Amino acid sequence: MSIATLEIKKGLNVAAIREDFPILHQMVNGKPLVYLDSTATSQKPEAVIQVMDAYYRKTNANVHRGVYALAEEATAQYEGARKKTQKFINAKSYREIIFTRNATEGLNLVAYAWGRKNIRAGDEIVTTQLEHHSNIVPWQLLAQEKNATLRFIPVDDQGQLRADQIETLINPKTKIVACTMMSNVAGTITPIRDLIARAHAVGAITVVDGAQAVPHMPVDVQELNCDFLAFSGHKMLAPFIGILYGKRELLEAMEPFLGGGDMIREVHMHESKWNELPYKFEAGTPAIAEAIGLGAAIDYLNELGMENVRAHEIELTDYALNKLRAVDGLTIVGPARAEERGGVIAFAVPNAHPHDVATIFDREGICVRAGHHCAMPLHERFNLPATTRASFYVYNYPDEVDRLVETLEKVREIFKS
């Protein structure tokens, strides 16, 4: 793998890293591509592309079933990726790592397989105003079905969780606390350890949405002591695959989410016995090539060093915040300090709809996201119908922020904002 030589005091060698991403070396509308939408999905390095290509060219076979050489090699690579994932988040066992389609499916799995067995009428489920819809809607459905109550920890004007509300809202009636580690709009890094500790103090389980955090900072599930953690491969340089971590004792006690092949040990006419973990929750043929690609992405991030990834994003986000604050009239959502947020900045331009703003950016070869970013309650909190969002990763550098700001000035001229 071609990868940058790292100098920790100076951060990542972004120029060298960019050489590993073929998609970045192209023109869009006659301008060099600037990709600022990694919060939605990250780009893939050559190492990930090559390992998936090699699987399809040399090893393409189903896993867990065949005894011939190709099938055994495919199984070894697939299960090897599971063990890399285990080590990446420091789970106790590879059996606590379940491959899903995406983080959304992982959160739904917990809502269905744990929630429907354990939630009763009158119980309370606590989440926050920061959440992506995938960490709201499954709990809405569960609460409606079980006649439980869904409560939200509010945020202040800086997009930080109201600490004074946590102890009141997480109380002896609470059975589930579901919270993001990092907002995909405000960028807020939540006090997740405090939330987990409070939840466990009242006997509740914790479900953490790590889709934005795991790709961007070191995450240790044993240190966090969370009960479940869901995240997505496609946001961390990998293909489109999801990962659910769960404590083994909880997973053992849960019924399967989906039924079919590979999740069974025995099937008879009127009853079945389930397979062992993690296969009990992986019905049917899995995303084999995607899992192998995930393993390669984890290797890449490990070589970069997650501490270095985080340090680079703090530096770049701080630079971007300072530049964007100089743009007259701009509304920026989220904490003021880069250390308190991830590498994502959502903003609103006066008199300009975010979709129009994003279209102008596209003409300049700049990829940003426009809309409510699957976080409508948070936008309602700030009285914004939508925002434009720029997000950063290991392959972005300050010159791209400068192009973002230069284009924003053009937007202001067009809309007289």
Angle, alpha carbons 397-242-92 (nearest 5°): 100
Nearest residue to 413 via CA among 323, 308, 328: 328
d(Cα 284, Cα 282) in Å, to the nearest integer?
7
Q: Could you tell me the sign of the dihedral formed by the alpha carbons of 87, 90, 93, 97, in that order?
A: negative
Query: Is 226 part of the annotated catalytic residue set?
Result: no
- Tokens describing residue 189: 């890094």
What residues pair up with 228 in beta bridges, in sequence order?
207, 246
Helix count and strand count (H, E) for the chain: 15, 17
What's the gap between Cα 266 and its chain centre? 35
| Lookup: tokens for 211 | 């889709």
Measured between alpha carbons, how far is 184 from 385 in angstroms, rounded to an integer?
16
* CB-CB contact of 182 with 188 (8 Å): yes
Catalytic residue among 179, 226, 367, 374: 374
Sequence-ordered strand ranges (E) for 103-181: 124-128, 149-153, 174-180
Q: What is the DSSP letter of 135?
A: G
Residues 6+ apart with CB under 8 A from 22: 46, 49
Catalytically active residues are 374
